[in-house]
Amino acid sequence: MGAVRGTSLAAVAVAVAVALTATACGGTEDKAGDAAKGAGAGAAAPAQAPAGAAVGPGGQLAVRQDAALGPVLVDGAGFTLYRFDKDTAKPPTSTCDGDCAKAWPPVPAADAKAAAGTDPSLLGEVVRPDGSKQLTVAGWPAYRFAKDTAPGETKGQGVGGTWFALAPDGKKAAKAAGDGAGNGGGGNGAGSYGDGYGNGGGAGGAAPAALPGLSVAKDPKLGDHVVDRNGMTVYRFKPDTAWPMVSKCTGDCLAKWPVVAPVDKADTKGVTERNYLVLDRPDGKKQQTIDCWPVYTFTGDKKPGDINGQGVGGTWYAVAPDGKLITTQ
């Protein structure tokens, strides 16, 4: 009798746990993706900052529109890629090793894929002294900066007067003259590799104030909608589901609709804290969710404020601060 009672109590405990979990991500009234449940579900994890730029492969590259630098090449996790003036592109040669490579981790070449809308032939590789293969862009070896601890950061820009974010064509990222980016290359670190943050005063006006990782912007058509730290519109995909949390955007889809990497809850403003979770995707990436809905940006948006992804295919829509779809056209 005691064994039966114990079994019953255990069953009740499991049922309660399931019910509580379902309430967490299943209580939303937004049913946009309920018909598309199934394969590809990821596990929820508490929102937290992702591993630093030193970790992980290059993956599916993307082009991010930076408010100060213009188009910048980023890795699959959204971290900025850099080039080093002491390297050469013809022939491709890396001169950053030892302690330098710890501060500026080389980007592995193995799985790197060209960003949507860029020339795949610009990607190549160079064999480093240790035998590993490093990604090159138009011949320039590509690196990340260990002090970039969140996607979208550009703390390596101008360090030592020799380190610069990579533009999609392999050149140094920079806005056209007159944009007032003001990117100084002071470099206050010691040694030739400059571990400082390059806080010198550049030409032009002051760069725009940094936005939170996720915040709310107002559009004449859409009203209040969520944007990332670069002011780029954040979207949802209708076939996705909130319970279970599933992203249906995979493969080639991700080349056009990059996932929003995890953003610490403390680095948000105006966005609901309800079910603010991180999705562990089957491809190994971590994706931010808002009220359990996976969120993305669109490579077709070229500057802050663009809403070119709105209504694409009848399945992509901007996200309201509470996580719901904005279906206004």
DSSP codes of every residue in 137-169: ETTEE-B--TT--STT--TTTTGGGTEEEBPTT
Partners of 279 in the beta sheet?
44, 287
Tens of pLDDT along the chain (329 residues)?
Answer: 444 444 444 444 444 343 444 445 655 445 444 333 333 444 444 433 344 455 568 899 999 988 888 899 999 889 999 999 999 999 999 999 999 999 999 999 998 999 998 999 999 999 998 999 999 999 999 999 999 988 889 999 999 899 999 999 999 998 755 444 334 333 333 333 343 323 333 333 333 456 788 999 999 999 999 999 889 999 999 999 998 999 999 988 998 999 999 988 888 999 999 899 999 998 888 999 999 999 999 999 999 999 999 999 999 999 999 999 999 87
Q: What pLDDT does 109 receive?
A: 93
DSSP conformation class of 100: H
The CA-to-CA distance between both ends of the chain, in Å, stands at: 63
DSSP codes of every residue in 262-313: P--GGGBSSS--TT-EEEE-TTS-EEEEETTEE-B--TT--STT--TTTTGG
Q: Which residues are CB-contacts of 122 (< 8 A; sequence separation ≥ 6)?
A: 114, 137, 138, 169, 170
Nearest to 271 by CA among 312, 224, 235, 201: 224
Q: How far apart, in whole angstroms, are the C-alpha atoms of residue 175 and residue 178?
A: 8
Say if CB 164 and CB 154 are below 8 A apart. Answer: no
Q: What pLDDT does 284 receive?
A: 85
Q: How far apart, in whole angstroms, are the C-alpha atoms of residue 125 and residue 160?
A: 25
Q: How far apart, in whole angstroms, are the C-alpha atoms of residue 107 and residue 100?
A: 13
Q: What pLDDT does 285 receive?
A: 87
Nearest to 171 by CA among 54, 70, 59, 303: 70
Q: What pLDDT does 66 receive?
A: 87
Tell me if residue 101 falls in helix, strand or coil. Answer: helix
Phi, psi at 55, each rounded to 5°:
-105, 140
* CA atoms lying within 13 Å on the CB side of residue 59: 22
Q: How far apart, in whole angstroms, are the C-alpha atoms of residue 66 and residue 179?
A: 12
Q: What pLDDT does 283 receive?
A: 86
Phi, psi at 177, each rounded to 5°:
-55, 140
Nearest to 245 by CA among 76, 45, 14: 45
Tell me if residue 120 falls in helix, strand or coil. Answer: helix
